[in-house]
Structures are given as structure tokens and as C-alpha cells.
Chains A and B, each alone.
Chain A
Amino acid sequence: MSRLLLAVVLGVLSLGSALALTGISAWLITRAWQMPPVLDLTVAVVAVRALGISRGVLGYCQRLASHDTALRAAADTRESLYRRLSEAPAEAAMRLSSGELVASAGKAVDELSDVLVRAVLPIAVAAVLSLSAVVAIGIISPAAAAVLAVCLLIAGVAAPWLSGRAAAAAEDVATQHHSDRDVAVMLALDHAPELRVSGRLDTVIAEAEHRHREWGHATDRAAAPAALAAAAPTLAVGASVLGAVIAAVWIADSVTPMAVAILMLLPLAAFEATTALPAAAAQLTRARIAARRLSDLTAPSHPFRPRPQVAPVELQPGDRLAVTGPSGAGKTTLLMAMAENRTEAVFFAEDAHVFATTVRDNLLVVRGDATDDELRNALQRVGLGDWLDALDDGLGTVLVGGSAAVSAGQRRRLLLARALISTAPTVLLDEPTEHLDASDGQLILTELLTRDGLFPADRTVVVATHHLPNRIGCPTLSLAACE
């Protein structure tokens, strides 16, 4: 809080320098026109030069102070978001495996922390400076001050309100049209060859372009108030200058020429602080939306797909069980339910995350005290021995971009190595051989489902797969089949 206050004070002083510069310059020139002894101008000359420097320097300090505050706020928001996510229901966390969602959470945090720099700070600074300008003019001419106050309200309240409305409308438009357009674009990009062969590509691209234009036109309509908001400050400055000139004509005989000059010229500089407010209002609107998005992300009340009921499965230590069935039959759900009901069981998801860190840390995530030899042994057994040997830094090689650094098959094997390193009495493996060559996949499945194969005899292993090798002698639980 004190940091924010410091930033506000610096901001007021910086923009106040600009306001004072205009006022004192007006005084200096008018006084000089009266041709007094040069010494009478010394203080004003020095002040004008000093203000010319202080404005930029104080502005620099204010920027640093406010961004430091914002970054601290962002770090705090991120940490608390992370804590909330890690305590949220498993389904909420599961949705995070989509990178899109993670990125949008990251963006929402940034929007929220930008509120301080882009909204709270400029609003506070503008309020203080507008008040100072009105008071300064009010001393010379209350009527002109009243005109100025009204104009400042137009520039500082009405224009930002319009701009906030435009931002909200733009966001609405984006949520309405964004996914339509993206779906059409991704359809074309993902399946271009097939669409070309079937002669449908042109139709699909035309559809994408049509969606794009529709969104653009909606965005344009939504932006109409923003253009008004951008023009309103110009109108306000003009009106306040005209008001000041008319007031000056009335009172010019009763006050000094210097006061007349200040009265007419100060309004030109009084609006600098309010020019930032339309953007501030837009930022506030976006932050409100971001806050809502973040709370949606962790809300336990989010309507989830109801879980299909699965019959409890009896398992003895050392059992091997294969769960089969086509995709969508509920294999994953069954495994997750088993993991929840058994404290000793660990679930190895098909879409588990490969961290953008070293190979070693990616394996140690299962069991922190595993030795390098154990890790190498596990990699060897899942068929990654040659791959490991080819890496520049062996276990210390960083997988840049996480799963992007490995092929789909290598990723699968790496995740399987994690399961081998784990010492959990029961391991639940979801599609451990997806994306592997048929022969390798069959071999590994057989090894997994054989006692003393990949896992020691006393461990319990449950494998969900849709391609079970023939001639395998282990109990099989078959979920909904093709017929």
C-alpha cells in the first residue's frame, strides 16, 4: 500500500510539474512583456527550467515504483491462484492439462495486476491534479473554474465511462465470436489435406473468413463508444479554453495581466492527467472480467460431467488387471475412482505433464530420493536407453518445452519410466502403450501384465488399454464394446 502511495505522490509531482510549467511560463511571458528589471524574472526562469527537468525524472521514478508494486501484486495473485488450484477438486485441476487454459490464467493474472499501474494510479493522479487546476483557476475566476470542472468531468468521467463500455462490449463480442472463428480456422489447418482431397477446403476457408469478418464487424460496432471517448477530451479542452477566454474578457480590468494569461492558458495543460483515464476504465473492465474468469477456474460449483458409476474392483497385492474397451468407455474414470478409493494407489494419467526441466527432475517428481542409477535403469527398461545415451547431458539434459522436446512415443515411455520409479504398492496406468509401435507396445503390455516383468511380483498393477495382446493370461475387465 505504501508503495502504491509513493507511486501516486511521484505521479502527482511529475504531472504537477507540467501543470506548474504552463502556469509559470504564462506568468513569466506576461510579466516580461511589462518590461520589468530582468532580476524580477530570475526566480520564474529558474523555476521553469527546474520544472522542465523534474517532470521527466519524477515520471521515471513513478514508473519504476508503480511497476514494482504491480509485479509484487502479480506474484501474490499467482501464488494464491496456484494454492487454490492445488486445493481445488481434481476435475478442476484436470482441466489445466490444456495449455490454452493455463495461458489464459496467466493472462488473467497479468490483467489483474495491471489494474494498479494502468487504472488505480492514473485515477488517483488525475483526481488530485484536476482538483488543483480547478482550485488554481477558481482563485482567479470562479466562473471559469466551474466551466473547467464540468469539462474535466467530461474528459475524466464521461469519456472513461464510454471507453469502459466499449471494452466490455468488445469482450462480449470476443467471447461470442472467438470460438466460432477459431474452430473454423483450426478445422482448415488440422485437416487441410483431407479437405482438399474431398473438395471441401474452399468452403471451409470461406467459412473461416466469413466468421473472421463477422467478428471484425461486431468489434467495430462495439468500438464505436471508444472513438467518442477518444474525441471527448479534445472537445473538453476546447470548451474549457473558450470558457476561460470569455471569463478573462469580463475580469481582465480587475486583475493583473499575469492572472489573465494564467486563466486562459492553464486549461490547456489541465487535461494531461485525464487523458490516461479512458484507457484506465478499459483496463478496469478487463480486470473485472479477468477476476471472474479466475474465480470460475477454481470454483468447485463448476458443472462437471457427472462421473459414470463404476463397480468397485477387488484387488489383492501382486494382482495384475487389464481394463479394456474403446475410448470413451470409462477406463480412465474407473482408474481415477480406484486411485481415490485406495490411498496406496498412484494414478499415472495418459496426458501426464512433462515438465520443461531436466530428464532427471522429470523422473524425480515421482520419488525424490531415487538415485541416478535407478533412473537410468528405469529408462533402459522402457526402451529409452539409446535415447538417453544420445542426449548431450544425459540425465541433466533439459527438455526444452516439455513434451515438445520428445516424440509422442518417447513421451509415453518417459511417463512409463516414472511409474517404474514409483514405489507405490498399487500403480494404475492409463494407456501406457498408446503411440508406440505395435510390436513394442504389445511387448511392454505383456511385461507390465506379467508378475516379475517390469514390476516386482508384490506390486499391484492395473493397466487400461484398448489393444490387449493375444495369449495373455491375466484377468481382464472389459468395458462397453463395439456391439
Chain B
Amino acid sequence: MNLWRASGAMRRYLVASVACGVLITGATIASSVVLAHIVAGIITDPASRTLAHWTGPLWILLSLWAVRTLAHWAQGRLSARGATAVIADLAGQVLHRITALPPRQLAAERDSAATVITRGLDGLRPYFTAYLPSVFLAGILTPAAVVVIAVYDVSSAVIVLIALPLIPIFMVLIGLVTSERSEASLAAMTTLQSRLLDLVAGIPTLLALGRIGGSADRIAELGAAHRRSAMATLRIAFLSALVLELLATLGVAMVAVGVGLRLVFGEMTLAAGLTALLLAPEVFWPLRRVGMEFHAAQDGKTAADNAFRLLDTVSPSLGGTKRVTAPIEIEVLGTDVRPGSVTVLTGPNGVGKTTLLHAILGLDVSRAGPILVNGVDVTDLDQRAWWGQVAWLSQRPVLVPGTVLDNLELFGPLLDLDLACRTAGFDTVLAALPEGLDTVIGRGGTGLSLGQRQRLGLARVLGSAAPVLLLDEPTSHLDAACEDRVLRAITARAAGGATVLVVGHRDPVLAIGDRVLAMGSLVDA
């Protein structure tokens, strides 16, 4: 039980749920026994047919049903709250764990983490509110009801005990026999479904190419094929429900017939017979509930398994305690990136330029040999102190929810805000914003285009006081005039003593390099 370990909210939820299960079980069994005795009394004893005679038992019956109702209500509330708490707990843990991963690992897990957190874990709600309570009830009410039946009528208990184990046995057998077929049809169904979605996603493309015509018929064909394979899956899937219902109803029917045949020979009392008859369905219905909720719970279960897989990912421990002071010289790929000069890192797509920047930042282990900062291996540096000395422009600069000013000062206060905005071409953007620096650009930076975003990122890096500048494709999304100005500003920062490393392909970018590092080989400019 992974969940038990993972979450304190989970433990509280389980305790509350089991308590409700016990309460429901007690009230259910007691009310069946009381009702059976009232019914038998009214039928067998004509003298008892007054309300006054039954006042006591009727009050007991009333309070037992009241307890049952309240327990059901409490279970509903508690399980909903429990689900909320557990889901929030797990989502938070996954988010913490995944965001601490090195960038490459993060990129690999990003989509599955996003799915788990934003959608998958919500599927745990039915698991907690419907499936688990029915499992607990099956674990408490079912055996308790069998025991009470045995107290009143051993033969009925034997019938029930024969039917009960047949349910799991048959379900396992059906599962074994049909698993291969149902897996195949399930796979066919998934494929068809994704092809349908694929065609819908392609509508704009098909429209632009003037080829939309035939695809509507294709949708109809796929729909029919989808139905056929879905029905093939369902014919098998519903077999287990059939067995469950068949054995449950037949079990009750056999108890009724058995009781009837023993009553006719005077071998038992009517009260005992009715008790067995009323309790027999209570043995089976929790199992039927489990069967009904099982499929709804599977999504949540899968999501939880994915969450645990993500929680088990390990990030390499990076960072130490050493500190360095400016000016800073970085030794990378066997070359010095010197303060006061611009070093350009170039090479074809996918060769690992961005990854190298990550390694210099100490976010990932280096795949290109050791990286030394003023002679200290980067993995021995105190990470927070080191990051305080670096201004980094990533390929897609982050915008945090907040004002423009917040975002400009993300890596620390700017030396000269106006100058920084001017050199990055962000001043024109700023002038067009309704409230200038105080404009809120929250929620993922909607409101700023890709190019505007790039300029904001440039402004905060170029304007920062950090002695080290790492710029990943600084002039993408910029036009030639803008690019020129930005490149001059970068050169100026280097001239001011900063250590500047730029990743780029284009000729104008390569031209500002005092030295150009081609990944794999080394060329002095």
C-alpha cells in the first residue's frame, strides 16, 4: 500500500472510512435482525398486532436506520475531503520532485508529470469516494453478515459460503480466458480513437489543402469500426459483471428455497428464516458495489501509479559549499571563457550547446568534461551563491505572474533599467503597455508576443549586475536592426568586465565573438 506510506492525509482518510464502514455494518445487520423479528412476530402471534406492543422495536428500527443514513452521509463527506487532501498532497510532492530534476530529465518527464498533476490525479476522486468505501464495506459487512447468518441458521450460512468464493474464482477464470482477446480489442479501440482525434486535429490542414471532402466519410467508417471493436471488448468485460450478479442473486434465491423447505417441515422458526433471508443480500451487495466501481477507479489507480513512478525518480545530487568571486573565468571544453570578452558557442542542432549551459549553471552533470569556475569544479560550488552571480537567458525566457518590473528584476535589480530596456528594444513594448512597468503580465505572460518576451528576457539579463552572462540564442525572434543593437549591448557588457558566453548560429552573432567555440572543435576568432 504505497498510498499509506506516501501521505498523512491518506492515513486519516482510511481511519475515518473504516469507522464509517463499521458503523454502517452494525446498523445494517442490527436493523435486519430487528425487522425479521417484527415481521415474524406480527405473522405468528395475532395477539401482538397492536402498535403499542411494537413501540420499542419500532423505535430501535427507526434509530438504526437513522444511524445508517448518517453514517452514509458522513462517509460521503469524509471521503470527498480525504480525496481532496490526498490528491493535493500527491500533486505537490510530484511537482517538487520533478522540478528538482536536471533540465534534460525534466524535459523527458515533463509531459507525463503535467498529465498526472493537471488531469490524472483528479481521477483518484472516484477511487476514494466510491471504490475504496465499497472495498472496506466488502471487507467488514460481508464477513459480519455471514457470521450473523450462521448464528441464526447454519445451512444458509453454508450456501452463502459456497457462493462467495465462486465469485473471485470465476472472475479470475474469465479474466484468464479472455485477457488476450480483451487486450487486443482494447488496443484496437485506443488506436481507432486516436485516429479519430488525429483527423479532427488535422481539419485546419485539410481545409487549407482543400482535401476535407473524403475525410467525413472516413470519420463515419472509423466510428463504425470503433463501435464494433468496443462491443467486442464489452461482451467480454461484462461477463465478469454477469457472473457477479448471477452468483449474488442465485445465492439469495438458494437461501430462500432452503429456508422454505426447512420451514415446511418445522425444522426452524420463522424469525430465524427471515433473518437469514434479509441478511443474505447484505453479504453480496458490497461485492457488487466493488464490481461496479472497479472500472471507474482504474483511471485513478493508473494515475496514482504514474505519480509514484515520478516520485521514485532520483535527481543527481549537485552542488557543494565553495564560493567564487568576480572576475570569473570558466574553463569549459578545455578552453577558458575569460572575463572581459565574448565567447560564442556554436554547432549544429542537437549537439548539446544548451545542455552545456545547463552544466555550467550546475543544473546537470557535464557530458563534455569537467567545468571549472575560477579553478573550482562547478559541482562543488554553493548553488545559490553561484546562481546569484549569473544572469541567464534561456531559449524561452520565463515570465512569472506579476508586474513587468517583477519580471525585469527576476535575476536581481537592474543597474540602469531605462538603458537595459532601450538596448533590448523593450522600451517600445513598455511604452505601449497600459500601465508601463506596473502592468500585470501574469498567467503565463499572455499579452506578450514571443518577440516581446524575448526582449524582456534580454533586458533583464543585459541590465543585471551579474558578472557572468549566459545567453542562449539571444537574437532569435528579433529583426536585423534589433539584433544589431542587442549584439552591441552584449559586447559592451563584456567590455565592462563581464564573462559572456553566447550560444548562436547566425553570422552576425558569430562576428561579435572574441573567440568562437565550435562544439567538438575549437576556432580562435
Chain A residues near B (Cβ < 8 Å): 17-18, 21, 25-26, 28-33, 35-36, 38, 41, 44-45, 48-49, 51-53, 55-57, 59-60, 63-64, 67-68, 71-72, 74-76, 78-79, 82-83, 85-86, 90, 93-94, 96-97, 99, 102-103, 105-106, 181-201, 204-205, 207-209, 212-213, 216-217, 219-220, 223-224, 226-228, 230-232, 234-235, 237-239, 241-242, 245-246, 248-249, 252-253, 257, 260-261, 264-265, 268, 324-328, 339, 346-349, 352-353, 355-357, 365-366, 368, 402, 407, 409, 418, 422, 436-439, 466-467, 470, 481-483
Contacts and interface: CB of A to CB of B under 8 A. Distances in A.
Contacts of A339: 208
B274 interface: yes
Contacts of B482: 326, 481-482
Interface string B408-447: 0011000000000000010010000000000000011000
A183 B444 contact: yes
Given A189-B95, A189-B113, A245-B42, 6 more contacts: A68-B227, A86-B216, A182-B118, A220-B80, A242-B58, A439-B505
Contacts of A439: 505
B478 A482 contact: yes
B219 A78 contact: yes
Contacts of B215: 82, 86
Interface of B: 31, 35, 38-39, 42-44, 46, 49-51, 54, 58, 61-62, 65-66, 68-70, 72-73, 75-77, 80-81, 84-85, 87-88, 91-92, 95-96, 98-101, 103, 106, 110, 113-114, 117-118, 193-212, 215-216, 219-220, 223-224, 226-227, 230-231, 234-235, 238-239, 241-246, 248-254, 256-257, 259-261, 263-266, 270, 273-274, 277-278, 348-350, 358, 361, 363, 384, 387, 390, 392, 394, 396-398, 400-401, 410-411, 425, 428, 443-444, 449-452, 477-479, 481-482, 485, 505-507
A32 B200 contact: no
A69 to B, nearest CB: 10
Interface-centre pick from A38, A64, A188 (highest chain B CB count, 10 A):
A188
Contacts of B260: 25, 28-29, 31-32, 41, 44-45
B50 A249 contact: yes
B390 A30 contact: no
A209 B449 contact: no
A249 B51 contact: yes
Contacts of A32: 259-261, 263-264, 273
A227 B80 contact: yes
A45 to B, nearest CB: 5
B481 A327 contact: no
Nearest to B409: A198
Contacts of B257: 28, 45, 48-49
B479 A200 contact: no
B160 to A, nearest CB: 13
Nearest to B193: A106
A86 B231 contact: no
A57 B199 CA distance: 39
A-B residue pairs, 5 tightest by C-beta:
A238-B65, A75-B223, A52-B253, A438-B505, A227-B76
B95 A205 contact: yes
Contact of A253 (B49, B96, B396, B398): B49
A184 to B, nearest CB: 8
Contacts of B68: 234, 238
B249 A56 contact: yes
B88 A209 contact: yes
B87 to A, nearest CB: 7
A99 B66 contact: no
A438 B66 CA distance: 76
A209 B84 CA distance: 12
B65 A242 contact: yes
B358 A75 contact: no
A56 B479 contact: no
B196 to A, nearest CB: 7
7 contacts: A29-B260, A55-B246, A99-B197, A188-B95, A216-B85, A234-B68, A246-B51
Contacts of A226: 76, 80
A219 B216 CA distance: 39
Contact of A71 (B51, B100, B231): B231
A79 B481 contact: no
B441 to A, nearest CB: 12
A481 B481 contact: yes
B278 A75 contact: no
A231 B231 contact: no
A85 B207 CA distance: 10
B200 A102 contact: yes
Interface-centre pick from A55, A194, A204, A356 (highest chain B CB count, 10 A):
A194
Contacts of B193: 106
Contacts of B505: 437-439
A106 B38 CA distance: 55
Contacts of A29: 256, 259-260, 263, 270, 273-274, 277
B387 to A, nearest CB: 4
B387 A356 contact: no
Contact of A227 (B77, B99, B390): B77
B201 A99 contact: yes
Contact of B246 (A38, A57, A228): A57
B398 A194 contact: yes
B245 A48 contact: no
Contacts of A264: 35, 38-39, 42
Given A36-B264, A205-B99, A481-B481, A82 B117 contact: no
Contacts of B195: 356-357
B275 to A, nearest CB: 11
A260 B428 contact: no
Contact of B76 (A192, A231, A366): A231
A99 B200 CA distance: 9
A55 B410 CA distance: 67
Interface-centre pick from B61, B260, B261, B384 (highest chain A CB count, 10 A):
B260
Contacts of A237: 65
Contacts of A18: 249
B263 A190 contact: no
B203 A86 contact: yes
